């Protein structure tokens, strides 16, 4: 039996997309070539992997079984690829990375210099923007994204948790009091980011409260929310990484610390589909993951 690794990788994307043609477009295959890839794989395995209709495909029982093996095959090959490239070899080449402006400026850019000293034959282009780039169309090797990822064809690895919390200045709490339960937020001045008017909090007992908030300040810019909280204007919902320094200094204090904001967020390393991870991408992801583990404590 001869397995074409590219066809295995393509099958994984077809399973994720639920459509051969859509997955084929990612790989640059014509409709005919995409279908032939799957047929050749099925012939090599001696099993039918997909149930086909005119609009979509679904996995057969054999397809579901093979999908688990296929993912492991690709992961093992990526590991071997990285190990062989890294074993006694110098990684080199350009690495194009994008991240949100605030996070990238504070938690990615400061670590770039050390990485380049360790890997002088690598060059990095870092694009910091709050716009959500199509990383495939814009040719990025990697995007660092924060939040809850929407279903997509992109490949993602969570490299850190990104808990969110409620914060206020000591002056605000002294003047207006500290909320004791989630429902108390209704009577407080809450700082409004964009069109977010509903905060979801889960208490220690597991009860989820959905609180409709209101306040006298709204903005589309996260750093303006932080400044307003520091000035004592109201209570803000922030990612912990964004206010960590102010929490450590005492300029901001956590509100309702025994509650968790939902949904839970993560920090993700996201890369394009349809190709094996290069050694420089893998090593950079591992490097940033290690740095964040220290920086976000």
Question: What pLDDT digit, counting tens, does each position of 38-47 carry?
Answer: 999 999 999 9
Do the domains spanning 5-85 and 90-162+265-295 agree at the CATH topology level?
no
Average pLDDT, stretch 80-101? 76
Mean of the per-residue pLDDT values of the chain: 90
In this model, does residue 123 exceed pLDDT 80? yes
> Per-residue confidence at 278, pLDDT binned at 50, 70, 90?
confident
Instruction: Over range 183-198, report the average pLDDT.
Output: 95
pLDDT bin (cut points 50, 70, 90) of residue 102 is very high
pLDDT at 92 over 80: yes
Assigned CATH for 5-85: 1.10.10.10
Residue from 43, 31, 30 nearest 4 by CA: 43
Question: Whole-structure pTM over 0.75, yes or no?
Answer: no
Percent of the chain with pLDDT over 70: 94
CATH 3.40.190.290 fits 164-262, yes or no: yes
Q: How confident is the model at residue 274 (pLDDT cuts 50, 70, 90)?
A: low
Q: What pLDDT shows up at residue 275?
A: 61
If you average pLDDT over each of 76-90, 128-142, 163-177, which comes out highest? 163-177
Instruction: Enumerate the domain spans of the chain.
Output: 5-85, 90-162+265-295, 164-262
**How far apart, in whole angstroms, are the C-alpha atoms of residue 182 and residue 111?**
38
Model pLDDT, residue 262: 96
Q: Which fold has domain 90-162+265-295?
A: D-Maltodextrin-Binding Protein; domain 2 (3.40.190)
SS (H, E, C) the chain: CCCCHHHHHHHHHHHHHCCHHHHHHHHCCCHHHHHHHHHHHHHHHCCCCEEECCCCEEECHHHHHHHHHHHHHHHHHHHHHHHHHHCCCCCCEEEEEEECHHHHHHHCHHHHHHHHHHCCCEEEEEEECCCCCCCCCCCCCEEEEEECCCCCCCEEEEEEECCEEEEECHHHHHHHCCCCCHHHHHHCCECEECCCCEEEEECCCCCEEEEECCCCCEECCHHHHHHHHHCCCCEEEEEHHHHHHHHHHCCCEEECCCCEEECCCEEEEEECCCCCCCHHHHHHHHHHHHHHHHHCC
At residue 85, the pLDDT reads 58
Closest alpha carbon to 292 in 117, 160, 165, 162: 160
């Amino acid at each position: 039996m001869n397995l074409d690794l590219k066809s295995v990788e393509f099958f994984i994307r077809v399973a994720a997309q639920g459509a051969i043609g859509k997955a084929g477009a990612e790989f640059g295959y014509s409709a005919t070539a995409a279908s032939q890839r799957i047929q050749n794989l099925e012939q090599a395995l001696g099993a039918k992997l997909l149930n086909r209709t005119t609009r979509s495909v679904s996995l057969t029982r054999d397809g579901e079984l093979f999908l688990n093996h296929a993912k492991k095959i690709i992961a093992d090959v990526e590991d071997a690829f990285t190990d062989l490239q890294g074993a006694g070899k110098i990684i080199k080449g350009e690495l194009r990375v994008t991240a949100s402006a605030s996070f990238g400026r504070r938690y990615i850019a400061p670590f770039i210099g050390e990485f380049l000293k360790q890997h002088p034959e690598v060059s990095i282009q870092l694009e910091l923007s709050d716009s959500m780039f199509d990383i495939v169309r814009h040719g990025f090797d990697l995007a660092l994204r924060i939040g809850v990822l929407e279903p997509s064809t992109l490949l993602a690895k969570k490299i850190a948790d990104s808990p969110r919390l409620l914060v206020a200045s000591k002056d605000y709490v002294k003047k207006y009091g500290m909320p004791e339960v989630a429902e108390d937020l209704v009577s407080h001045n809450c700082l409004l980011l964009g069109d977010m008017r509903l905060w979801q909090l889960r208490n220690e007992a597991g009860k989820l409260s959905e609180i409709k908030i209101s306040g006298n300040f709204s903005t589309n810019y996260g750093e303006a929310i932080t400044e307003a909280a520091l000035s004592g204007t109201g209570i803000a919902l922030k990612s912990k990484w964004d206010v960590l320094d102010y929490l450590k200094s005492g300029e901001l204090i956590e509100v309702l610390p025994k509650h968790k904001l939902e949904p839970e967020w993560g920090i993700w390393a996201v890369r394009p589909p349809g190709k094996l991870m290069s050694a420089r991408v893998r090593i950079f992801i591992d490097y940033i993951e290690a740095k964040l583990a220290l920086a976000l404590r």
